[in-house]
Structure 1
Amino acid sequence: MTTPAILIRDETEKDKAVITEVTAAAFETLEISSHTEQYIVEALRAAGALTISLVAEMDGRVVGHIAFSPVQMSDGTKDWYGLGPVSVLPAYQRSGIGKALIREGLSRLKALGGKGCCLVGHPEYYVKFGFRNATGLEHEGIPPEVFFVLPFDGPVPQGKVTFHEAFLADGHPAQG
């Protein structure tokens, strides 16, 4: 039995609804999730902050998605990005789709002139891609053991990193 090929491509307009479904399904049973990941992707897209948004397709069906967005560094370092969320439908998890999305996304970030990438995620998973815990860089309110950086070019920034405000999205209209 052969495994269907994984196609990684840029999201298109027609992918938006299925990306929301894939993201919600991917995090539905994850205990550490606040179950707002699909709203984060929507808010990043609405803010024009999706630097890279890729889908994974198998047999013509979108089964995964990854988002990269700019982050702010308190020391003024430019061209760093946040990875996340990355989502794979539960039935397709542990089949290499997440790895393919991450590798392609990081490659594209480098091609855009990105200096590095950071994320909040599972310690055993992201070290496979070269991510490591940061010394001298923190994300306020996030335990250091789940905050990771991957410098592409140059040193790791020092101070605090701030992800796009879309990461606060919870699916409820903003109160003004």
Structure 2
Amino acid sequence: MLIRFERPEDADAIHELTRVAFEPMPYSNNTEARIVRDLRASGELTLSLVAEEGGEIIGHVAFSPIIIGDIEDGWYGLGPISVKPERQRQGIGRELILKGLDLLRERDATGCALIGNPAVYRGVGFESDGKLTYGDLDTRYVQRIIFKGSPPSGELKFSPAFDE
């Protein structure tokens, strides 16, 4: 498996992968593929990595700038992340996340945050201390990983691409 930056010709394959990966998920409102396209179109797709095997894209992860409270610089949001349904639970998503986090560190990012299942993201270093919020969502689902500095607090604000 090769993890690489997305190329312009990958956009349609990423869109389809994201659509099929999220389609059966009960928590999804099926906007994830549109979100990736909108992030790309707005120039807010800071990192877009694909996992490729045998010339086929089997996984994708997006990272984009976020605001936490009054902190407007240095923080990124992880997601959407997609893996081909029949290839899920094989470590592909984990490898995409770890590579993306390494690249953010190299770019001198302060940290990364996400909304997700703690049991899934704890294994790659994300945690919740209850200080980050996102609407009325239970704070244990609002997680972060800090690369430098002190733990932030406040409401997460993602790109307008995430708005329905």
TM bucket, shorter chain: over 0.9
**Structure label with greater radius of gyration:** 1
Q: TM-score, normalised by structure 1?
A: 0.90
Distance in 2 (alpha carbons) for counterparts of 1:77 and 1:42: 23
Corresponding residue number in structure 2 for 1:172: none
1:89 aligns with 2:73: no
Name the Cα RMSD after superposition: 1.1
Aligned residues between the structures: 164
Corresponding residue number in structure 1 for 2:118: 123
1:49 aligns with 2:44: yes
What pairs with 1:17-96 in structure 2 (closer than 5 Å)? 17-76=12-71, 78-96=73-91
What pairs with 1:108-147 in structure 2 (closer than 5 Å)? 108-147=103-142
Distance in 2 (alpha carbons) for counterparts of 1:10 and 1:128: 23
Q: Could you give the per-residue CA deviations for residues 89-118 of structure 1, whole angstroms, max 9, x where no partner exists?
A: 101111111011000000001001111000
User: Residue type of the partner of 2:122?
Assistant: V
Corresponding residue number in structure 1 for 2:2: 7
User: Residue type of the partner of 2:4?
Assistant: R
Q: TM-score, normalised by structure 2?
A: 0.96
Distance in 2 (alpha carbons) for counterparts of 1:136 and 1:67: 24
Asked if structure 2 preserves the Cα contact closer than 8 Å seen for 1:66 and 1:101, the reply is yes
Distance in 2 (alpha carbons) for counterparts of 1:76 and 1:84: 19
Cα deviation for residue 137 of structure 1 reads: 2.1
Distance in 2 (alpha carbons) for counterparts of 1:139 and 1:148: 10
Corresponding residue number in structure 2 for 1:106: 101
Cα deviation for residue 129 of structure 1 reads: 0.9
Cα deviation for residue 32 of structure 1 reads: 0.7
Change (3 A) 1:125 1:21: same
- SS of equivalent to 2:50: strand
- SS of equivalent to 1:118: strand
**1:151 alignment partner, one of 105, 125, 146:** 146
Distance in 2 (alpha carbons) for counterparts of 1:134 and 1:87: 26
Cα deviation for residue 143 of structure 1 reads: 2.1
Asked if structure 2 preserves the Cα contact closer than 8 Å seen for 1:75 and 1:158, the reply is no
Distance in 1 (alpha carbons) for counterparts of 2:136 and 2:80: 18
> Identity rate of aligned residues, in percent?
43
User: Residue type of the partner of 2:59?
Assistant: G
Structure 1 alignment gaps of length 5 or more: 1-5, 170-176
Cα deviation for residue 77 of structure 1 reads: 5.1
Cα deviation for residue 51 of structure 1 reads: 0.4
- SS of equivalent to 2:155: strand
User: Residue type of the partner of 1:139?
Assistant: Y
Distance in 2 (alpha carbons) for counterparts of 1:87 and 1:136: 27
